[in-house]
């Protein structure tokens, strides 16, 4: 696959002397190794002192090597917020590989990147256009910066209880609605792909936004791998996104909590991004996380055109086998060949129940359980044997459970249509609160962010009027086995509301 190169102006400022960067090397890994191997009397943090005082309960599990390499911001390791050495070098190599004009490493996950992107484009009182099924990080970003949401309702598949993408015409309608109110969109946020691998037409939306000089931010948490196989969808950057935030720790192979923020174009102020990241990220970043980003980039660089070939083939074979299993179905809406979403309604089960059964009977663990489905992700570490266990587990459920449960159980649909915003997320966050019974909460202004987790998509957001459909949905997914995140009372006998 043809890779985009970093702009000459970015490379010209590099501290690397070579004209051509050897992409497969890992400068941050090399620096960490050299520093860890130094024979030095260390009088700095962290207190475990290269593992000499490592807690035995943890070192017995992971060994001492992670502690040996758990080092602070020593001069040899560079400064994340003012990089001049190996971090700068590593970020520029990532920029070249992923096709951005600039890339930042994140130790606070894609959550931190989404927050920084919104804070870098929106000021207090500005309007942010975003899908109502955006991740909770977008809501917390609006609390931090004071932006006001202009929600777009994503398309919804009731059969699967899955929200899908949004259309450019919806974004255009939102922009025009703000214009009529004498307001302007400061930015547009799109989630593409969704947790289920469903993509929006980022290119068309980007062309629409750019015609009005509005920056487009793409939450591409689940699409960090898209650039590296011909069967994957085009990346957000390839389609014109100004900012794309990717979870390198998902399908790619960095450590959990590590992500990247990529920028292109001149609509977003890079210095403001830097200031926002410095505000949001730890002043003591983990060099294990940072080095894992460099290592994941180097791993891909070794064989960027072919590294996912076996994964794609394995996923295709697995789907063919699953399609032959009675009473389970395959979602065909995903643009990502590595996502395998299986419907279990035909077995009379919720996804939460099926997840528990698969785990207990076959040791098969899914990525995401929903009300009516399970989502599995094929990645570079998935083996043929893993997929065989998945297929056998589904066959076992189909054979034994359909006889027991019979027909489908249809649950309540997700309530993203009837949304009434009374206060901005920031106003609601800082408002006085009170707790009321769930029966008395209808019509009140929600004071807490409540969502089934995963995937972390809120059903109730601070500042919205609580309606009956939202409560019915939350009670339904609770009864089906979902964990309710964000609620002071996870059993939902009461709800925190704004006392205004």
Burial 378-417 (b: 16+ CB within 10 A, else e): bbeebeeebbeebbebbbebbeebbeebeebeebbbbbbe
232-269 pLDDT tens trace: 999 999 999 999 999 999 999 999 999 999 999 999 99
This prediction has a pTM of: 0.91
Give pLDDT, residue 416: 66
DSSP class of residue 6 equals P
333-352 pLDDT tens trace: 999 999 999 999 889 888 99
Q: Per-residue confidence of the chain (500 residues) as pLDDT tens digits?
A: 333 333 333 333 333 333 344 455 899 999 999 999 999 999 999 999 999 999 999 999 999 999 999 999 999 999 999 999 999 999 999 999 999 999 999 999 999 999 999 999 999 999 999 999 899 999 999 999 999 999 999 988 888 988 899 999 999 999 999 999 999 999 999 999 999 999 999 999 999 999 999 999 999 999 999 999 999 999 999 999 999 999 999 999 999 999 999 999 999 999 999 999 999 999 999 999 999 999 999 999 989 999 999 999 999 999 999 999 999 999 999 999 999 999 998 898 889 999 999 999 999 999 999 889 999 999 999 999 999 999 999 999 998 875 555 445 555 666 666 788 999 999 999 999 999 999 999 999 999 999 876 566 788 999 999 999 889 888 888 887 788 888 999 899 999 999 98
Strand-pairing partners, residue 437, are 494
Give pLDDT, residue 473: 86
Strand-pairing partners, residue 433, are 498
Give pLDDT, residue 457: 76
> pLDDT exceeding 90 applies to what percent of the chain?
80
C-alpha span between 165 and 334 (Å, rounded): 10
Give pLDDT, residue 140: 95
Q: What are phi and psi of 485, to 5 degrees?
A: -100, 145
């Amino acid at each position: 696959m043809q890779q985009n190169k970093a702009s000459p102006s970015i490379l010209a400022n590099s501290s690397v002397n070579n004209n051509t960067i050897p992409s497969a090397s890992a400068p941050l890994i090399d620096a960490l190794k050299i520093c860890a191997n130094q024979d030095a009397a260390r009088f700095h943090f962290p207190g475990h002192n290269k593992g000499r005082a490592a807690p035995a309960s943890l070192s017995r599990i992971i060994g001492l090597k992670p502690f040996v390499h758990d080092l602070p911001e020593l001069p040899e390791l560079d400064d994340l917020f003012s990089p001049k050495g190996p971090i700068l070098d590593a970020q520029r190599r990532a920029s070249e590989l992923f096709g951005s004009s600039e890339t930042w490493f994140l130790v606070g996950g894609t959550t931190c990147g989404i927050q920084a992107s919104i804070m870098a484009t929106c000021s207090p009182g500005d309007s942010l256009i975003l899908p109502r099924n955006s991740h909770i990080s977008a809501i917390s970003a609006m609390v931090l910066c004071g932006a006001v949401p202009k929600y777009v309702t994503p398309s919804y598949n009731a059969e699967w209880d899955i929200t899908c993408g949004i259309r450019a015409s919806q974004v255009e309608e939102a922009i025009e609605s703000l214009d009529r109110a004498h307001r302007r969109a400061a930015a547009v946020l799109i989630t593409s792909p969704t947790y289920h691998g469903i993509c929006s037409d980022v290119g068309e939306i980007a062309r629409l936004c750019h015609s009005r000089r509005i920056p487009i931010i793409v939450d591409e948490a689940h699409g960090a791998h898209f650039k590296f196989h011909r069967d994957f969808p085009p990346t957000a950057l390839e389609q014109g996104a100004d900012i794309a935030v990717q979870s390198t720790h998902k399908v790619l192979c960095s450590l959990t909590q590590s992500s990247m923020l990529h920028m292109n174009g001149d609509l977003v102020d890079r210095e403001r991004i830097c200031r926002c990241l410095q505000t949001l990220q730890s002043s003591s970043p983990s060099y294990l996380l940072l080095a894992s980003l460099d290592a994941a980039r180097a791993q891909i660089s070794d064989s960027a055109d072919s590294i996912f070939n076996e994964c794609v083939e394995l996923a295709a074979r697995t789907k063919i086998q699953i399609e032959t299993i009675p009473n389970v179905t395959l979602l065909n809406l995903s643009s990502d060949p590595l996502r395998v979403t299986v419907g279990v309604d035909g077995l009379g089960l919720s996804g939460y129940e099926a997840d528990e059964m698969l785990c207990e009977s076959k040791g098969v663990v899914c990525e995401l359980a929903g009300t009516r489905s399970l989502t599995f992700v094929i990645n570079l570490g998935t083996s043929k044997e893993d997929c065989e266990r998945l297929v056998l587990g589904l066959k076992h459920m189909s054979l034994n459970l359909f006889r027991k449960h019979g027909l489908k159980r249809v649950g309540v649909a997700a309530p993203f249509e009837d949304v009434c915003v009374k206060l901005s997320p920031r106003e609601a966050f800082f408002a006085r609160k009170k707790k009321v019974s769930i029966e008395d909460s209808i019509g009140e202004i929600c004071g807490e962010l409540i969502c089934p987790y995963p995937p972390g998509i809120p059903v109730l957001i601070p500042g919205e009027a609580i309606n009956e459909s939202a409560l019915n949905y939350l009670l339904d997914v609770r009864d089906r086995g979902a964990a309710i995140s964000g609620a002071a009372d996870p059993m939902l006998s009461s709800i925190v509301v704004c006392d205004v």
